[in-house]
């Protein structure tokens, strides 16, 4: 396990993924009934962009670092919760703080909602457990995220989200992601599942995601491209598959993604995708 998210926190992929996460949570929060979020690959929860790791790659500068200027009002509406979470963690932990998915849950969940934070790396799990052990509705578990995905659904609350955000260190992880999602959806047909994937070789991504078209539930394929996908070894885009997306998510991302593609583009190339797959497409 070599991947450390501290090198990548706040990059363009985090911005896209965390924005979508805040929109899904905002949707779940509209109803009074409690819900559960299972974060299968949680990381350490909160990052400091002034650390050696973050400074060495400087990735955040081309991600959250480019969001200081406001966008047009319709885009800012979609970014509202994401910006509120950023402001809250900066206020509490300092101007260079950046929230990972657990910190976003910490800010947005109500006391009656629950978050399960699964992390396999022993040191990262320890940081996570130490950070949230006093937060009654968050629980950090030292477990394999894929095992957790199979074992923890459907949750008692019967509504909620599973965020699947693996490091993609091993070959075949993309196919595994789709296969695991399929199994999970069969086990919990009404749950929302959001799974992140890297976009490097676009044709390989298309091939791996093709089975989504045969999923029994609606699927939204979201992508943000910040560089022309010419080099199959380079991360040029960020993808998120959302199964059972909130009905508002497509329109929201169709508003935000073009603006992010414009703002986060490198060498003048920015693009996005917002594609329905599955039975509704
Ligand atoms: N979801 C986090 C966020 O948005 O802030 C970032 C997660 S990072 C991309 C992936 C994390 O998965 C790393 O912290 C890594 O240690 C952890 N990891 C790797 N393999 C795992 C496994 N099999 N089960 C659970 N966690 C794993």
Q: Which residues of the chain have pLDDT under 50?
A: none
Which residue's alpha carbon is nearest to atom 1 within ligand 1?
42
Read off the pLDDT of residues 81-115 as tens digits, 9 standing for 90 and up: 999 999 999 999 999 999 999 999 999 999 999 99
Any ligand 1 atom below 6 A from CB of 42: yes
Which residue's alpha carbon is nearest to atom 9 within ligand 1?
167
Q: Are 56 and 4 in contact (CB under 8 A)?
A: no
Peptide bond into 154 cis (omega under 30): yes
Any ligand 1 atom below 6 A from CB of 97: no
Q: At what angle do helices 101-108 and 12-28 cross, to 10 degrees?
A: 30
Ligand 1 atom closest to the Cα of residue 121 is 16
The residue length of the chain stands at: 281
Cβ neighbours of 48 (radius 10 Å): 16
Whole-structure pTM value? 0.98
Ligand 1 atom closest to the Cα of residue 14 is 4
Helices (H), the chain: 12-28, 52-57, 73-93, 101-108, 122-132, 145-151, 173-187, 202-209, 249-264
Ligand 1 atom closest to the Cα of residue 118 is 25
How far, in Å, CA of 119 to CA of 105, rounded? 15
Which residue's alpha carbon is nearest to atom 21 within ligand 1?
120
């Amino acid at each position: 396990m070599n991947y450390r998210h501290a090198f990548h926190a706040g990059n363009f992929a985090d911005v896209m993924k965390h924005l979508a996460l805040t929109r899904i949570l905002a949707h779940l929060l509209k109803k009074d009934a409690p819900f559960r979020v299972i974060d299968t690959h949680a990381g350490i929860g909160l990052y400091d962009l002034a650390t050696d790791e973050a400074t060495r790659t400087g990735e955040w500068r081309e991600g959250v670092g480019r969001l200081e200027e406001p966008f047009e009002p319709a885009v800012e509406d979609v970014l509202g919760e994401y910006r509120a979470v950023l402001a809250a963690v900066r206020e509490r932990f300092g101007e260079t703080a950046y929230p990972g998915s657990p910190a976003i849950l910490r800010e947005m969940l109500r006391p009656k909602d629950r978050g399960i934070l699964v992390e396999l790396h022993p040191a990262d799990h320890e940081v996570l457990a130490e950070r949230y052990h006093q937060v009654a509705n968050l629980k950090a578990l030292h477990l394999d995220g894929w095992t957790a995905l199979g074992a923890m659904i459907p949750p008692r609350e019967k509504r909620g989200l599973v965020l699947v955000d693996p490091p993609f260190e091993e070959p075949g992880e993309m196919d595994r992601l789709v296969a695991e999602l399929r199994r999970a959806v069969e086990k919990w047909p009404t749950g929302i599942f959001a799974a992140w994937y890297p976009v490097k070789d676009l044709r390989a991504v298309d091939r791996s995601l093709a089975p989504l078209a045969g999923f029994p539930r609606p699927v939204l394929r979201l992508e943000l491209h910040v560089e022309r996908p010419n080099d199959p070894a380079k991360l040029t885009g960020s993808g998120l598959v959302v199964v059972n997306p909130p009905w508002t998510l497509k329109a929201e991302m169709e508003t935000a993604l073009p603006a992010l593609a414009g703002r986060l583009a490198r060498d003048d190339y920015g693009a996005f995708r917002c594609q329905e797959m599955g039975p509704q497409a």
